[in-house]
Amino acid sequence: MSKKLFVIDAAGYIFRSYFALPPMTNVKGESTNALYGFVRSVLRIIEDFSVENIVVVFEGPDNKEQRKKLYEEYKANRGEAPHDLPYQMDFAEKFCELAGIPTLKAAGVEGDDTMGSVALWADKRGYEVFLCTTDKDMAQLVGGNIFLLNTYKDNLILDSKKVEEAYGVPPKLIVDLLALIGDASDNVPGVRGIGPKTASALLSEFGSLDAVLENVDKVSGKKRQENLREGVDMARLSRDLVVLNTEVEFPQEESFFYRGAIDLEGLKEFYGKMKFTTLLKELHGQEEKKVQESIETTYRLIDDEKSLAELVKELKSQENVCFDTETTALHPAVADLVGIGFCYKVGVAYYVPLNGKLGSEYVLAALKPLFEGKVGFYGHNVKYDYEMLLGYGIKVANISFDTMIASYLLNSHQRQHSLDKLSLDYFDKVKTPIEDLIGKGKKAITMAEVEVEKVCEYCCEDVDYTCRLYEQLKGELVERGLEKLFFDVEMPLVPILANMEKTGIYIDVPYLESMTEELQKLLAVLEKEIFELAGEEFNIKSPKQLGVILFEKLAIHPPKKTATGFSTSAEVLEFLKNDWPIAEKVLEYRTLEKLRSTYTETLPQQVSDRDGRIHCSFNQSVTATGRLSSQDPNLQNIPVRSSVGRRIRGAFKPQKKGWSFLSADYSQIELRLLAHFSGDPALLSAFKENFDVHSYTASQIFDVSMEEVTKEMRYQAKAVNFGIVYGQQAFGLSQELGISTKEAQSFINKYFERYSGVKKYLEKSKEQAKKSGKATTLMGRERLIPEINSKNGMLRQAAERLAVNTPLQGSQADIIKMAMIHIDQVLAKSEKLAQLVLQIHDELIFEVPDFELLDLETIIRKEMEGVVKLKVPLTVDITIGKNWEEL
């Protein structure tokens, strides 16, 4: 087997990644997308080719010096590199150092020259050399044992034959080809009017650039002859510019190119700082020798009467116990309980199976008094386990802690708070993937089918590491001053959300089925109309086919292009619809099709066979502002703007006759919070006097009395009011109102003239976030915003919007959560039958027996309006109806 050397073009990979990958930032808010793409590419090469000999070539200082002497305009067309790219180059070098990868960076020459020098040297020493680059200049080196490796095209390896197939000439003529056609990316001039096909044809006919230039009279076409005569000097200059300097000095010991040892701890720290969680996890998985844990583990299977009795007695004597349920499905509404794990001391855990020797009835009867007693129980995503036990008639009396919610409060700006991720982050522990037990895809089995001993090990590991997290995170909450928010708001909310999920909400399935039929008829009519306008049938759902119809067949001028072709987004169709009826019809088609596929057809399939109701999941640790989200299905996103969308809400209704829905909705709560935080006299006055705040703002902006405010004025003022809350700029407001950016900016300027206190507050919010790196809410909820000091303008502006919006939206989330807790306490104390079934951000929906409606309206208004004291009154709008649409 011959020796192989991989020579990597660092700049090529870094530049490509910078423009190909979405923005990413490290813990300091610095950009990392180019670095991430580079690291991924290098690691892939190492893995795919089992690399032993490697070098990464970086651009050195004054790298254009030699060619600038030949041609001052060389690469002059390139502007300055993006400000957040150079330090990513430095990060990439640091990665190579930690990963044991040799690097080269020669002064005064370009990276291509260094790569070429290394390639020729290695070729003479019997290496197969793979130049990892997409730069066509490097094709001049291909031949013998030197190849190009294009990792972006499934590791395509180009030898001499494939170079000729790709460029039309063999490697020895690549320099001559580039001399004729030039290279726009490097500002190499070439010969005017000579393209790749012409150049390759000329070189094939005459054999070389010199031969072409010496036989111009024999070249076909007078214009071509004229261009060649005028371009003789430029062609020869271009050849000098593209030919590689292969005399660059570099270490010529073979040992220099050996891949060295990885600095494991250094690389772990580096990945951590860069927030490369996936890479960090992979690194742990690749360790050949796992570090022995300092704490010995004892994991016990409890599957006999004596052992279970002893365990229950021991657990009853503890103040707090960690528990975790093993089940057959992810959704508690359809899952069956398989077993329960317990842990109260790090390293010692127990698993009690329900499908073991004792049987489920015996186990549950033994555990029920334990769960319903005084012991505090905690877990990771404990709401799921609480809800599972509810389904078996066990109500856990004292939920004391949730490590997932604690992690979320400490790091709400991060998306992942899974036990696997946190175990890795805090303890360098790669937990056993659940796929190792149940498999994945169509061949997956349920936990009930896995050997009890394997489930025992898996579950005990879960509770053990949850116990370790508990010990860690409770201290961090105290250090950050978040314990009050955690224990007074988030933890009391857990059983409330679990009960909401368990209760679910009823939908009228026949009603939705008839809507589906109606929508299908409307879609069929629209489809026919679209085909007539298009002049042919096509797949309306295919953006590609739609693009062909609009921009090729109908020859509509495309207003926007994407990387994959002309855009057919809603924004583009909105732009076109006034002039092109087909665009309006397609928009209507898409709207109705989404209502059909997402709601009227899908919702009936999500009704539980057990009780005929839909049971969504409410997420307490997803949104960075503290808001709840819902999924499976997302009932917070049921349409309301269109008439057809509102009709879908009509399917949601109380299941029993003589019951109604009651909706309690905070009125303009975020604007009231803006008045509270800013202390702006005009805004405070508007709310204290109970004015319509949008009409009041319109009167201020347009300098008219409130009586003179038109609907259009109010609409525009409303857009400004809410735009300010979300940090909207003039461009965004102009798009929403359909006005010019200049007019939108004028609106915003007038707003800040009238509400000067608001402007001061917004600027203060940004400044505080820049100093502290975070934004906080009324209850002290924190959102870390590391990008607030980023040198990347786009990232920094997005961070500034978060700094403005988080205190408002986050405080609104705090307030409605506290209201839910207060109302739940009052309803439990008064033994009301009414149940909270939905929370949609600033709105609560209750399912209520009609005879409780009057009492409930009074209770809810009192609790929601009195939950906190602001500088302006909180007001609640209450409506009652027999279905959600009526609300």
**At which of 228, 257, 286 does a domain end?**
257
- pLDDT of 292 > 60? The answer is no
| Residue 223 in domain | no
Each residue's pLDDT tens digit, 346-393: 999 999 999 999 999 999 999 999 999 999 999 999 999 999 999 999
| 699 and 551 inside one domain | no
> Tokens 């209520």 appear where?
848
The whole-number pLDDT of residue 202 equals 87
Q: Say if residues 444 and 433 touch (Cβ distance below 8 Å).
A: no
Residues 143/96, Cβ–Cβ less than 8 Å:
no
Asked if residue 83 is part of any domain, the answer here is yes
Q: Which two tokens stand for residue 391?
A: 């389904």
Q: What is the pLDDT of residues 120-175, one digit of tens each?
A: 999 999 999 999 998 888 889 998 899 999 888 777 888 889 888 888 888 888 88
Beta strands 613-614 and 659-666 are unpaired
**Domain assignment of residue 342, yes or no:** yes
* 552 in the same domain as 676: no
pLDDT at 293 exceeding the cut of 50: no
Q: Quick check: is 151 in a domain?
A: yes
- Asked if 481 and 573 sit in the same domain, the reply is no
Structure tokens at 853: 């409606």
In a domain, 639, yes or no: no
Q: Are residues 478 and 512 in the same domain?
A: no
- Our separate counts of H helices and E strands in the chain read 36, 24
Instruction: Confirm whether 452 is domain-assigned.
Output: yes
Amino acid in position 505: I
CATH number at residue 356: 3.30.420.10
The answer, yes or no, to whether residue 220 has pLDDT greater than 90, is no
Please state the domain count of the chain.
4
Q: How high is the pLDDT of residue 687?
A: 92
Per-residue confidence (pLDDT) for residue 744, from 0 to 100: 85
Q: Select from 791, 796, 839 the least CA-distant residue to 815.
A: 839
Its domain, for residue 689, covers 671-802
Give yes or no: residues 353 and 438 share one domain: yes
User: What confidence score (pLDDT) does residue 288 get?
Assistant: 35
What CA–CA distance (Å, rounded) separates 711 from 708?
Answer: 10
Average pLDDT of 839-846? 95
3-class secondary structure, 698:
helix
Whether residues 128 and 35 share a domain: the answer is yes
Q: In angstroms, what is the C-alpha Rg of the chain?
A: 34
Regarding whether 316 and 419 lie in a shared domain, the answer is: yes
The reply to whether 811 falls in a domain is: no
pLDDT tens per residue, range 741-761? 888 888 888 888 888 999 999
pLDDT for 289 equals: 34
Which CATH number characterizes residue 565's domain?
A: 1.20.1060.10
Residue 822 has pLDDT above 70, yes or no: yes
Q: Mean pLDDT, the chain, as a whole number?
A: 89
- Both 28 and 150 in a single domain? yes
Q: Coil, helix or strand for 613?
A: strand
- DSSP H/E element including 660: strand 659-666
* Residues 594 and 469 occupy one common structural domain: no
Among candidates 422, 413, 412, 418, which has minimal Cα distance to 434? 418
- Helices marked H in 650-680 — which ranges? 669-678
At a CB cut-off of 8 Å and minimum separation 6, what does 374 contact?
397, 398
DSSP code at position 25: B
The string of pLDDT tens digits covering residues 433-480 is: 888 899 888 888 999 999 999 999 999 999 999 999 999 999 999 989
What is the Cα–Cα distance from 192 to 712, expressed in whole angstroms? Answer: 57
Domain of residue 774, CATH code: 1.10.150.20
Six-digit token pair at 24? 């990413």
Gap between the Cα atoms of 778 and 428, Å rounded? 35
C-alpha 287: how far from chain center: 28
Residue 193 lies in a domain: no
Instruction: Give whichever of 141-145, 563-567, 658-662 has the largest mean pLDDT.
Output: 658-662
| Burial of residue 427, with CB atoms counted within 10 A of its CB: 0-12 exposed, 13-18 middle, 19 or more buried | middle
Q: What is the pLDDT of residue 294?
A: 53
Cβ-Cβ contacts under 8 Å for 116 (sequence gap 6 or more): 138, 141, 244, 245, 246, 248
> Does residue 401 carry a pLDDT above 50?
yes
Structure tokens at 779: 């209850």
Same domain assignment for residues 599 and 748: no
Tokens of 302: 């409890």
Whether 820 has a pLDDT exceeding 80, the answer reads yes
Average confidence (pLDDT) over 481-493: 96
- In terms of average pLDDT, the best of 562-571, 679-688, 698-707, 710-719 is 679-688
Query: Taking 50 as the threshold, does the pLDDT of residue 791 lie above it?
Result: yes
3 state SS of 611: coil
Q: Is the CB of residue 604 less than 8 Å from the CB of residue 648?
A: no
Which of 487, 505, 523 marks a domain boundary?
505
Of all residues in the chain, what percent carry a pLDDT higher than 90?
Answer: 56
**Do residues 250 and 118 touch, judged by C-beta distance below 8 A?**
yes
Residue ending a domain, among 478, 505, 532, is 505
Q: Stretch 545-557: mean pLDDT, rounded?
A: 90
Does one domain contain both 403 and 492? yes
> Which stretches of 508-569 are DSSP H helices?
509-534, 543-548
Closest CA to 21 of 98, 90, 88: 88
Q: Are residues 35 and 150 in the same domain?
A: yes
